[in-house]
């Protein structure tokens, strides 16, 4: 009672009654006030005060109907231990009209009491009576009709007029095919007992039948029967004031019909239930009242459909929000972290939401529920898909990084076989990706990762290919370096010898080099997994590279200075040394001119020898040897080492140097002779 939620002040229009003396469960709320306004607190009351919201269909609803001051509130309070105002409360006058609701003590029965204005103001009175009756019928299983025994049989009395209203209203409400019966429970007050209840109830039934037949019924419904819409029960209660003990005893008996589901005459049968889930009751009741107040046609199936949409949307939105809140890995996933068990999390989030939806929304209109269920499912799928996509990309990256690192370290191992290595690692990477992706994929969300799978396969193959190419290039370069070193050691002596078979020797050296390099290339081809065609291309390329290294070496050797040095050396060998290699000492009788001419001629012959490679076709067929290389290359064009103009220049320079040598020799004789 100290809970401020439950205090008067928190309710608009101070619409709760004094709660000081009531238990929380019996706290009542004015659902509709004297201005015919619907109380927005109903939802809060259903949930927090009456604790009925979670009960689904497992709640009952009873309303009361009858003339002013016939002891309705007294009856409800006696039956359900509610605290509705009665005329007995001498401190308070019964002046406000409206609809009140409360729960019965210790039960899930929702009880509605109606208060009207004084009976003399008929016009307004009937308006509210009609509206409240309409409302009560739309939501209640049982309508308690409170009449005095003395009124029974007075056909023109106020009661029949009211009941006619009820019937009319009922036809309006339930003219649709799904007739939900309502139980009209007549409580005959001040039942003396002289006239047995059965006779009284017969009289009432006859009056009802008569009233029913006089009713102006909607078209096509002229022949409908009162029993299609209502069941009837009757109960007599003694005078409360005059026979208090009997009244109490009878009331206790009556209670059984409302509280004991196993009682033969238990009133809250499921067939009377209006099938509004408890959590939807506030919205439904509010809508119904809105329709009633604005005098719109009340079409309950449509109302139920609307309620279903409204509630399903509400439940869906709440669960979706919950799902977003519960998805704690959101930031990690967005940051590109590969999250363990994310698929399990997806599934669990989705299942939790959908199961809760099925429980909450499954009680509403089936069509609407199914439609809204699909909508929620799509929404969840859409939402999770963003993270799914992002995670798939992260996995893709991680798998690729792991793969490339594994390849790098694999290449550091001795004796690796590139193809075997990369094929295994590619397979591992693909398997790992597929396993991850499969676990992450919600099958019924039609998510796919085949595109990414294809992307990965392509990236892996591309990486392997590039890696192999790089490796190949590296090894080719190493081979070329080796060849260069070798040629640097072996070519100069051959050229220096200037033997007539010099070019044969060079050819042999070239072929040796190429052989060694080709064989090494073949080994590389095996470890790098090159096929035969690729291997041949690379061997052919290696030949070209060796050839180019050779030509570069030869051009260095035949560059101006070295060329001239070679000529000079030959000249000196022939002119200044004799056949035994001893330096000549010229004597006057020596024919210096002859010797010089001979030596010079012989040295000059070296010029064409060095200027152009002479490759015997029988030893090396250039045309076929370089066949199949992929480089733009023609060996024959590189055979000429020194151009013709360069040759002429070298010849001229050599001549000058030779002449100088000759003059020097001449002078040496003159000098000897002069001594």
Establish if 70 lies at the interface with Mg ion (CB under 5 A). no
Of 15, 22, 30, 68, the residue at the interface with ligand GDP (CB under 6 A) is: 68
Of the ranges 63-71, 398-406, 413-421, 477-485, which one interacts with ligand GDP (CB under 6 A)?
63-71
Of 67, 70, 73, 303, the residue at the interface with Mg ion (CB under 5 A) is: 73
For β-strands 98-103 and 29-32, DSSP reports them as antiparallel
Tokens matching residue 412: 């550091």
CB of 87 to Mg ion, least distance (A): 7
Q: Are 433 and 460 in contact (CB under 8 A)?
A: no
Establish if 558 lies at the interface with Mg ion (CB under 5 A). no
Residue closer to ligand GDP, measured from CB, 130 or 239: 239
Residues 647-666 that bind ligand GDP (CB under 6 A): none
CB of 34 to Mg ion, least distance (A): 14
Residue closer to ligand GDP, measured from CB, 68 or 391: 68
Of 241, 461, 652, 660, the residue at the interface with ligand GDP (CB under 6 A) is: 241
Of the ranges 66-74, 222-230, 317-325, 590-598, which one interacts with ligand GDP (CB under 6 A)?
66-74
Task: Give first-to-last CA distance, the chain, whole Å.
Answer: 152
Residues paired with 66 in a beta bridge = 146
CB of 83 to ligand GDP, least distance (A): 12
Establish if 507 lies at the interface with Mg ion (CB under 5 A). no
Tokens matching residue 464: 């392997």
Q: What is the largest CA-CA distance in the chain?
A: 189
Partner touching 566 among ligand GDP, Mg ion, none, CB below 5 to 8 Å by kind:
none
CA distances from 317 to 43, 173, 266, 363, 373 (A): 17, 31, 39, 17, 11
Of 69, 126, 246, 604, the residue at the interface with ligand GDP (CB under 6 A) is: 69
CB of 102 to ligand GDP, least distance (A): 14
Q: CB burial class (10 A; 0-12, 13-18, 19+) of residue 35?
A: exposed
Partner touching 470 among Mg ion, ligand GDP, none, CB below 5 to 8 Å by kind:
none
Q: Which of 513, 534, 514 is nearest to 524 (CA)?
A: 534
CA–CA separation, 309 and 311 (whole Å) = 6
> What count of other Cβ atoms lies within 10 Å of the Cβ of residue 12?
13
For β-strands 60-66 and 109-115, DSSP reports them as parallel
Of 22, 73, 103, 540, the residue at the interface with ligand GDP (CB under 6 A) is: 73
How many residues touch Mg ion under the rule CB under 5 A: the total is 2
Establish if 77 lies at the interface with Mg ion (CB under 5 A). no
Of 38, 71, 166, 613, the residue at the interface with ligand GDP (CB under 6 A) is: 71
For β-strands 182-189 and 230-236, DSSP reports them as parallel
CB of 255 to ligand GDP, least distance (A): 16
Tokens matching residue 645: 């103009």
Partner touching 98 among Mg ion, ligand GDP, none, CB below 5 to 8 Å by kind:
none
CA–CA separation, 342 and 340 (whole Å) = 5
Residue closer to ligand GDP, measured from CB, 26 or 74: 74
3-state secondary structure of 118: coil
Residue closer to ligand GDP, measured from CB, 89 or 505: 89
Residue closer to Mg ion, measured from CB, 38 or 65: 65
Of the ranges 70-78, 271-279, 406-414, 497-505, which one interacts with ligand GDP (CB under 6 A)?
70-78
CA–CA separation, 544 and 500 (whole Å) = 26
CA distances from 214 to 129, 223, 500 (A): 20, 12, 143
Establish if 253 lies at the interface with ligand GDP (CB under 6 A). no
Residue closer to ligand GDP, measured from CB, 65 or 662: 65
Q: At what angle do helices 366-412 and 418-440 cross, to 10 degrees?
A: 160
Partner touching 87 among ligand GDP, Mg ion, none, CB below 5 to 8 Å by kind:
ligand GDP
Residues 193-222 that bind ligand GDP (CB under 6 A): none
Q: What count of Cα atoms within 13 Å lies in the side-chain half-sphere of residue 163?
A: 29
Site string (28-67) toward Mg ion, x via CB under 5 A:
----------------------------------------
- Which helix (H) or strand (E) segment holds residue 87: the answer is none
Q: Which residues of 445-468 are buried (b: 16+ CB within 10 A; e: fewer)?
A: bebebeebbeebeebbeebbeebb
Q: Which residue shows structure tokens 């003990």?
A: 245
Residue closer to ligand GDP, measured from CB, 30 or 507: 30
CA–CA separation, 236 and 251 (whole Å) = 10
Of the ranges 220-228, 238-246, 332-340, 607-615, which one interacts with ligand GDP (CB under 6 A)?
238-246
Q: CB burial class (10 A; 0-12, 13-18, 19+) of residue 617?
A: exposed
CB of 72 to Mg ion, least distance (A): 5
Tokens matching residue 535: 């291997």
Establish if 190 lies at the interface with ligand GDP (CB under 6 A). yes
Of the ranges 23-31, 73-81, 389-397, 456-464, which one interacts with Mg ion (CB under 5 A)?
73-81
Establish if 74 lies at the interface with ligand GDP (CB under 6 A). yes
CA–CA separation, 327 and 444 (whole Å) = 20
Tokens matching residue 304: 């139920």
Residues 77-116 that bind ligand GDP (CB under 6 A): 86-88, 94
Of 17, 97, 191, 240, the residue at the interface with ligand GDP (CB under 6 A) is: 240
Establish if 538 lies at the interface with ligand GDP (CB under 6 A). no
Partner touching 68 among ligand GDP, Mg ion, none, CB below 5 to 8 Å by kind:
ligand GDP
CB of 300 to Mg ion, least distance (A): 27
Of the ranges 45-53, 71-79, 226-234, 442-450, which one interacts with ligand GDP (CB under 6 A)?
71-79
Q: Which residues of 18-33 are buried (b: 16+ CB within 10 A; e: fewer)?
A: ebeebeebbbbbbbbb
Partner touching 256 among Mg ion, ligand GDP, none, CB below 5 to 8 Å by kind:
none
Establish if 159 lies at the interface with Mg ion (CB under 5 A). no
Establish if 151 lies at the interface with ligand GDP (CB under 6 A). no
Q: Are 646 and 654 in contact (CB under 8 A)?
A: no
Tokens matching residue 40: 């927005």
Instruction: List contacts with Mg ion (CB under 5 A).
Output: 72-73
Instruction: List contacts with ligand GDP (CB under 6 A).
Output: 68-74, 86-88, 94, 189-190, 239-241
């Amino acid at each position: 009672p100290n809970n401020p939620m439950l205090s008067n002040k928190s309710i608009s229009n101070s619409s709760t009654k004094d709660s000081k003396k009531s238990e929380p469960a019996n706290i009542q709320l004015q659902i509709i006030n004297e201005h015919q306004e619907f109380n927005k607190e109903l939802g809060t009351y259903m949930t927090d005060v009456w604790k009925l919201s979670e009960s689904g269909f497992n709640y009952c609803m009873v309303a009361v109907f009858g003339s002013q001051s016939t002891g309705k509130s007294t009856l409800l309070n006696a039956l359900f231990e509610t605290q509705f105002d009665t005329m007995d409360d001498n401190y308070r006058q019964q002046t406000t009209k409206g609809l009140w609701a409360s729960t019965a003590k210790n039960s899930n029965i929702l009880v509605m009491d109606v208060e009207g204005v004084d009976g003399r103001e008929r016009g307004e009175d009937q308006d509210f009576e009609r509206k409240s009756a309409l409302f009560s019928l739309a939501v209640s299983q049982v309508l308690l009709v409170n009449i005095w025994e003395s009124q029974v049989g007075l056909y023109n009395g106020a009661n029949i007029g009211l009941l006619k209203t009820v019937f009319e209203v009922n036809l309006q409400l339930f003219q649709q095919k799904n007739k939900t019966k309502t139980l009209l429970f007549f409580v005959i007050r001040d039942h003396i007992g002289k006239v047995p209840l059965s006779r009284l109830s017969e009289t009432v039934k006859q009056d009802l039948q008569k009233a029913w037949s006089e009713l102006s019924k909607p078209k096509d419904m002229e022949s409908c029967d009162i029993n299609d819409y209502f069941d009837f029960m009757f109960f007599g209660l003694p005078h409360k004031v005059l026979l208090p003990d009997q009244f109490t005893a009878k009331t206790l008996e009556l209670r059984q019909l409302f509280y004991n589901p196993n009682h033969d005459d238990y009133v809250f049968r499921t067939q009377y239930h209006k099938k509004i889930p408890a959590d939807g009751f506030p919205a439904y009741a509010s809508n119904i009242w809105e329709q009633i107040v604005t005098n719109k046609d009340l079409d309950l199936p449509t109302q139920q459909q609307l309620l279903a949409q409204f509630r399903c949307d509400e439940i869906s939105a709440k669960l979706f929000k919950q799902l977003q809140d519960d998805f704690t890995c959101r930031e990690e996933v967005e940051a590109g972290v590969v999250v363990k068990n994310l698929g399990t999390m997806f599934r669990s989030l989705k299942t939790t939401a959908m199961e809760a939806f099925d429980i909450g929304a499954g009680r509403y209109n089936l069509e609407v529920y199914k439609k809204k269920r699909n909508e929620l499912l799509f929404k969840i799928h859409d939402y999770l898909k963003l993270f799914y996509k992002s995670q798939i990309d992260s996995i893709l990256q991680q798998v690729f990084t792991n793969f490339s690192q594994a390849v790098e370290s694999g290449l550091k191992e001795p004796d690796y076989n590139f193809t075997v290595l990369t094929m295994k690692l590619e397979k591992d990477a693909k398997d790992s990706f597929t396993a991850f992706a499969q676990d992450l994929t919600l099958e019924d969300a039609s998510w796919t990762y085949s595109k990414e799978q294809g992307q990965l396969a392509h990236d892996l193959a591309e990486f392997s290919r590039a890696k192999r190419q790089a490796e190949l290039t590296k090894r080719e370069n190493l081979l070329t370096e080796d060849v260069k070193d070798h040629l640097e050691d072996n070519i100069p002596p051959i050229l220096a010898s200037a033997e007539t078979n010099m070019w044969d020797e060079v050819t042999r050296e070239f072929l040796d080099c190429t052989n060694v390099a080709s064989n090494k290339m073949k080994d590389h081809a095996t470890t790098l997994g090159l096929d035969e065609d690729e291997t041949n291309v690379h061997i052919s390329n290696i030949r070209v590279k060796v050839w180019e290294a050779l030509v570069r070496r030869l051009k260095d050797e035949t560059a101006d200075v070295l060329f001239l040095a070679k000529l000079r050396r030959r000249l000196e060998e022939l002119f200044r040394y004799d056949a035994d290699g001893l330096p000549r000492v010229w004597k006057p009788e020596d024919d210096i001119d002859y010797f010089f001419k001979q030596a010079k001629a012989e040295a000059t012959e070296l010029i064409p020898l060095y200027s152009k490679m002479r490759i015997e076709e029988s030893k090396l067929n250039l045309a076929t040897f370089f066949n199949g290389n992929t480089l733009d290359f023609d060996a024959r064009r590189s055979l000429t080492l020194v151009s013709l103009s360069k040759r002429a220049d070298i010849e001229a320079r050599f001549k000058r140097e030779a002449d100088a040598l000759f003059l020097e020799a001449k002078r040496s004789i003159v000098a000897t002779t002069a001594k």
